[in-house]
């Protein structure tokens, strides 16, 4: 609010005499109890004068005697006279002092009453003599303390909270009518305490509009009102935060006046008070985000059936899926764990019809039984966001449906998958804050509570659910000091079984004898399971070392499919704990391997060598896919190691992010960012061909189109790759804590460092590199020497991720 002691002296005098807060008793109309009694008031004067002669002579006769003036003010204020208003009292004092004391060149007077109203801290009038421009004199109501329901977070809407309001209005000595501050306070109290607001901006605007309904403003429509609202204790480490606005009647032309005492009702279900702000455009497809959850029955089958049933509707196309997350029950704990995620739909159905389709799938198709709120369910489908064909958010509240979902911003198991399907800059349509910020805020509040596990569903064996599971937890990044979501689950080991005669380090060692090969698999499994409860066995039948000759398709099939079948039927191998992987870039090999029992396709080409690879994986949503980075082909890859990028990826049409923060072009990350962009291209292609987000694991492709130092840089940048995102116009890719597979085992770059020229002699060195890979964020490490590398991984996990 305006300070009364801020006179800008345009006259000749630069001297001032002050009287600060002189107490007087005055009757200024009825008090807050409607009693006509004297009230305590304070009078402050700022008197411009010229006391140069007094200062030179040290003679008080040549200055204003503030003691005399103060006594005079006390004398002229008669407590038995009803001055009617505080403003009239101020006018009397102002005119008396200015007319009696000729040495007062200019006068600013502030009169205030702290007991003028029980709800206000202070009411004051600020006046000037001689008068300045119109509306300079002001009546100010300060510290009006009210209770109201306000905010966009659920916890804010559990109970009303305090706000303070200051209202600054003209006091016009020329007008026969002036503002009745008692009426202004009553209207503000009645309105605000029956209100239900999301934002202080809406509250402050409404109070201003109501205040301008005073008769004075009808005669003076150009006169302004200033209202300031402070929301108390809204932000930790502050006393309050808020806004102010200045308006005239012209600003509200054509707008309805908010009804005093009859504003929007408080919702008992904590629903945000929103109305539809963007229309669904008929005949044009909209985009909706549907959260799914399942915790009874065959959960993966329930999710897949819900996907298929949505996709089968003529007005719906499922464009993308998120990863799947396993979570603890949030509201009712005594029930099985949930699998959660999100679908992105393109739909011609308006929100209500889409809701009814979801409910039909839940209750009629998947036979959901709702015994109590937030209880077990075969499937739950909730509309959380809805955008029209112009990309505008449709925001609505009805008895049947609320969009955005009112509890979206308190649920990590909804926001986490949603943040994979939207740009990291996407803003919540009600709170106007990035959804990623809301997610990080919830993580920061919960820390170790409600930890999510990202899972890759695999085909059941013997009726047992099998997943690749990657548990995440919030921690503070030591470099950026930011809270980041990182993997804390044990690192998985992938043991290499090469059935090829020409692999770079173990070619021909296993020969063609399937019993010898099976014995090697059993030994690897035993070594790994001593220290972990899962192991991946990667079977390859075609060497992919640079410049190697490629085995014909039939030969690769002969080398791999019988061994996969043998492993899957071996009674001495704990099938539920063994994940079988096929190391191939050929779609036909991948398809036959899946039919034989493979759980994962490890493709060094990232889908570039065979156009049908993504089609095969799309038909098998419970098969994981390791998408590796490569350039060129087996013969040309090592000539394609230039990763320089002129614009650093932040060109005119694209912007790159890491953990939601925009990359600085000056950062020395050209290699990992260029590599990530190229992986993102294949990733988008895979999703467009029907693959599910949850299937994909990233592999930076050590040794493929990368020289020795670049391989080291890739290892140091694993954590960047798994949390990289890029926005290109309306298109984007968001890896968001993607699992990363890395294969350093016996690679040539290790020999460059250690001087070990023979690949098979690099196992001890490989163990050291494995430890570094875990520290930088790898989730799966592919190695030859499983017995010793399993120990290295266990130690690295104990240091970087888990307790012993």
- At 23-72, the pLDDT tens digits run 999 999 887 777 889 999 999 999 998 887 777 777 667 678 889 999 99
Q: How confident is the model at residue 448 (pLDDT cuts 50, 70, 90)?
A: low
Active site annotation includes 559 = no
Catalytic one of 138, 368, 411, 631: 368
By the 8 A CB rule, do 568 and 596 touch?
yes
The answer, yes or no, to whether residue 784 has pLDDT greater than 90, is yes
- Tell me: domain 137-273, CATH 1.10.10.10, correct? no
Helix (H, G, I), strand (E, B) or coil at 684: helix
Where is pLDDT greater, at 148 or 154? 148
Q: Residues 361-384: what's their mean pLDDT?
A: 79
Dump the DSSP string for 265-317.
PPPTT--------S---TTS-EEEEEEEEE-SSSHHHHHHHHHHHHHHSTTEE
Q: How far apart are CA 516 and CA 520, in angstroms?
A: 6
pLDDT tens for each residue of 313-324: 999 999 999 999
Contact 31, 87 (CB under 8 A): no
Q: What are phi and psi of 267, to 5 degrees?
A: -85, 125
- The pLDDT confidence band at residue 649, using thresholds 50, 70 and 90, is low
Closest to 786 measured CA to CA, from 570, 610, 584, 538: 538
Q: Given pLDDT bands bounded at 50, 70 and 90, which one contains residue 266?
A: very low
Distance between CA atoms of 294 and 281, rounded to whole angstroms?
A: 32
Q: Looking at residues 156-178, what average pLDDT do you find?
A: 84
- Return all residues near 326 (Cβ < 8 A) that are at least 6 apart: 337, 338, 339, 340, 452, 453, 455, 467, 469
pLDDT in the model for residue 527? 93
What crossing angle do the helices spanning 553-568 and 514-529 adopt, rounded to 10°? 50
Spatial distance between the Cα atoms of 361 and 380, rounded to a whole number of angstroms: 9
Q: Annotate 43-72 with DSSP letters as a single string.
A: EEEEEEE--HHHHHHT-GGGS--HHHHHHH
CA distance linking residue 501 with residue 356, whole number of Å: 60
Q: What is the mean pLDDT of the chain?
A: 86
Catalytic position from the list 299, 377, 762, 801: 377
What average pLDDT score do residues 174-188 get? 90
* 8 A C-beta contact, residue 660 and residue 424: yes
Higher pLDDT among residues 331 and 293, named by residue = 293
> Which of 371-375, 758-762, 770-774 bottoms out in mean pLDDT, i.e. has the lowest?
371-375
**Taking a C-beta distance cutoff of 8 angstroms, is the pair 779, 800 a contact?**
no
Q: At what angle do helices 412-421 and 435-446 cross, to 10 degrees?
A: 150
Residue 1, pLDDT score:
36
DSSP string of 493-555, one letter each residue: EEEEEE--S--TTTTTSSTT-HHHHHHHHHHHHHHHHTT-S-EEEEEESS--STTPPPPPHHH
Q: Residue with structure tokens 């790759």? A: 721
Residue 800 pLDDT exceeds 70: yes
Burial 185-223 (b: 16+ CB within 10 A, else e): bbbbbbbbebbbbbbbeebbbbbbbbbbbbebbeebeeb
| CA atoms of 682 and 677, how far apart (whole Å) | 9
Phi, psi of 472 (to 5 degrees): -115, 150
Structure tokens at 701: 């492709």
| pLDDT per position as a tens digit, 328-368 | 876 665 667 889 999 999 999 999 999 999 999 998 888 77
380 assigned to active site = yes
Structural element, H or E, at residue 323: none
Q: What is the predicted pLDDT for the residue at 296?
A: 87
Contacts of 95 (CB under 8 A, 6+ apart): 129
What tokens were used for 617?
Answer: 């994986």
Tokens of 433: 């804050």
Where exactly are the structural domains of the chain? 1-132, 137-273, 286-454, 491-800
Return d(Cα 522, Cα 569) in angstroms, integer. 12
Distance, in Å, from the CA atom of 601 to the CA atom of 583, rounded to the nearest integer, reads 6
576: pLDDT strictly greater than 70: yes
Q: 286-454 sits in which CATH class?
A: alpha beta
Tens digits of residue pLDDT in 247-258: 999 999 989 888
214: which residues sit within 8 A by CB, 6+ positions away?
169, 179, 180, 183, 184
123-138: pLDDT as tens digits: 999 999 988 788 899 9
Q: Measured between alpha carbons, how far is 411 from 443 in angstroms, rounded to an integer? A: 10
**With 90 as the cut, is the pLDDT of residue 454 above it?**
yes
Q: Would the pLDDT of 240 be above 90? A: no
Active-site entry in 31, 137, 205, 382: 382
Task: Report the distance separating Cα 544 and Cα 286, nearest Å.
Answer: 45
- Average pLDDT of the segment spanning 229-239: 71
In the chain, pLDDT over 90 holds for what percent of residues?
Answer: 56
Please determine whether the domains at 137-273 and 491-800 fall in the same fold group of CATH: no
Averaged pLDDT for residues 383-396: 90
- Exactly one of 380, 393, 583, 763 is catalytic; which is it? 380
Residue 39 near residue 31 (C-beta atoms within 8 A): yes
The two structure tokens encoding residue 741: 């597979």
Which pLDDT score, from 0 to 100, does residue 215 have? 94
Q: Which residues share a beta bridge with 170? A: 138
Question: Which CATH architecture best describes the domain 491-800?
Answer: Alpha-Beta Barrel (3.20)
- What CATH number does domain 1-132 carry, 3.40.50.300, 3.30.1130.10, 3.40.50.2300, 3.40.30.10? 3.30.1130.10
- Under the banding of pLDDT at 50, 70 and 90, the label for residue 102 is confident
The answer to whether 493 touches 535, Cβ cutoff 8 Å, is yes
Would you tell me how many other CB atoms lie within 10 Å of the CB of residue 374? 12
């Amino acid at each position: 609010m305006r300070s009364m002691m801020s006179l800008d002296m345009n006259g000749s005098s630069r001297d001032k005499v002050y009287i600060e807060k002189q107490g007087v008793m005055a009757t200024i109309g009825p008090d807050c109890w409607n009693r006509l009694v004297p009230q305590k008031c304070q009078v402050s004067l700022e008197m411009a004068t010229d006391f140069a002669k007094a200062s030179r002579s040290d003679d008080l006769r040549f200055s204003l005697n503030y003691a005399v003036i103060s006594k005079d003010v006390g004398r002229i204020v008669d407590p038995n006279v009803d001055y009617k208003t505080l403003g009239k009292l101020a006018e009397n004092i102002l005119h008396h002092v200015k007319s009696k004391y000729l040495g007062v060149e200019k006068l600013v007077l502030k009169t205030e009453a702290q007991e003028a109203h029980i709800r206000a801290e202070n009411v004051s009038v600020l006046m000037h003599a001689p008068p300045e421009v119109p509306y300079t004199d002001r009546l100010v109501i300060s510290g009006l303390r009210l209770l109201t329901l306000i905010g966009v977070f659920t916890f804010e809407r559990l109970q009303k909270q305090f706000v303070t309001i200051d209202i600054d209005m003209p006091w016009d000595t020329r007008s026969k009518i002036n503002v009745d501050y008692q009426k202004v306070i009553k209207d503000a109290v009645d309105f605000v305490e029956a209100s239900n607001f999301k934002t202080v901006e809406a509250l402050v605007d409404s109070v201003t509009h109501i205040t301008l309904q005073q008769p004075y403003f009808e005669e003076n429509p150009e006169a302004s009102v200033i209202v300031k609202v402070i929301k108390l204790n809204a932000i930790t480490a502050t006393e309050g935060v808020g806004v102010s606005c200045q308006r005239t009647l012209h600003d509200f032309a054509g707008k309805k006046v908010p009804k005093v005492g009859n504003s929007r009702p408080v919702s008992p279900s904590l629903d945000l008070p929103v109305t539809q702000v963007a229309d669904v455009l008929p005949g044009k497809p909209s985009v909706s985000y549907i959260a799914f959850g399942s915790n009874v029955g065959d959960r993966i089958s329930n999710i897949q059936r819900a996907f298929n049933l949505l996709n089968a509707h003529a007005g719906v196309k499922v464009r993308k899926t998120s990863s799947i997350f396993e979570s603890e029950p949030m509201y009712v704990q005594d029930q099985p764990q949930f699998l959660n995620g999100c679908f992105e739909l393109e739909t011609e159905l308006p929100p209500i019809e889409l809701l009814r389709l979801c409910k039909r799938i839940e209750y009629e198709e998947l036979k959901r039984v709702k015994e109590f709120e937030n209880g077990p369910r075969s499937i739950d489908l909730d509309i959380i966001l809805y955008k029209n064909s112009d990309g505008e958010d449709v925001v609505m509240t009805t008895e049947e449906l609320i969009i955005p979902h009112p509890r979206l911003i308190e649920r990590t198991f909804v926001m986490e998958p949603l943040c994979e399907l939207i740009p990291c800059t996407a803003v919540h349509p009600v709170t106007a804050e990035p959804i990623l910020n809301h997610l990080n805020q919830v993580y920061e509040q919960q820390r170790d509570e409600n930890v999510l596990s990202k899972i890759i569903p695999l085909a059941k064996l013997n009726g047992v659910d099998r997943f690749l599971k990657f548990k995440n937890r919030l921690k503070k990044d030591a470099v950026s000091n930011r809270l980041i979501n990182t993997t804390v689950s044990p690192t998985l080991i992938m043991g290499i079984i090469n059935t090829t005669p020409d692999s770079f380090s173990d070619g021909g060692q296993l020969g063609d004898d399937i019993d010898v090969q099976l014995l090697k698999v059993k030994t690897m499994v035993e070594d790994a399971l001593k220290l972990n409860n899962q192991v991946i066995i990667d079977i390859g039948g075609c060497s992919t070392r640079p410049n190697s000759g490629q085995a014909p398709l039939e030969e690769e099939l002969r080398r791999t499919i019988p061994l996969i079948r043998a492993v899957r039927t071996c009674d001495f191998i704990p099938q539920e704990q063994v994940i079988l992987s096929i190391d191939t870039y050929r779609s036909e090999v991948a398809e036959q391997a899946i039919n034989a029992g493979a759980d994962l396709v490890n493709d060094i080409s990232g889908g570039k060598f065979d156009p049908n690879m993504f089609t095969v994986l799309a038909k098998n949503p419970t098969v994981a896919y390791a998408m590796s980075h490569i350039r060129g082909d087996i013969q040309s890859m090592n000539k394609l190691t230039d990763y320089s990028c002129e614009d650093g990826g932040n060109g005119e049409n694209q912007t790159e992010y890491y953990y939601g923060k925009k990359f600085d072009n000056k950062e020395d990350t050209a290699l990992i960012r260029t590599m990530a962009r190229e992986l993102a291209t294949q990733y988008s292609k895979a999703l467009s061909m029907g693959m599910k987000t949850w299937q994909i694991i990233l592999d930076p492709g050590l040794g493929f189109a990368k020289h020795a130092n670049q391989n080291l840089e890739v290892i140091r940048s694993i954590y960047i790759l798994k949390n990289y995102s890029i926005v290109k116009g309306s298109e984007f890719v968001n890896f968001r804590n993607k699992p990363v597979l890395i294969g350093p085992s016996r690679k040539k770059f290790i020999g460059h460092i250690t001087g070990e020229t023979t690949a098979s002699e690099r196992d001890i060195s490989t163990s050291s590199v494995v430890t570094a890979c875990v520290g930088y964020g790898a989730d799966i490490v592919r190695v030859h020497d499983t017995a010793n590398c399993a120990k290295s991984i266990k130690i690295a996990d104990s240091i970087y991720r888990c307790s012993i």
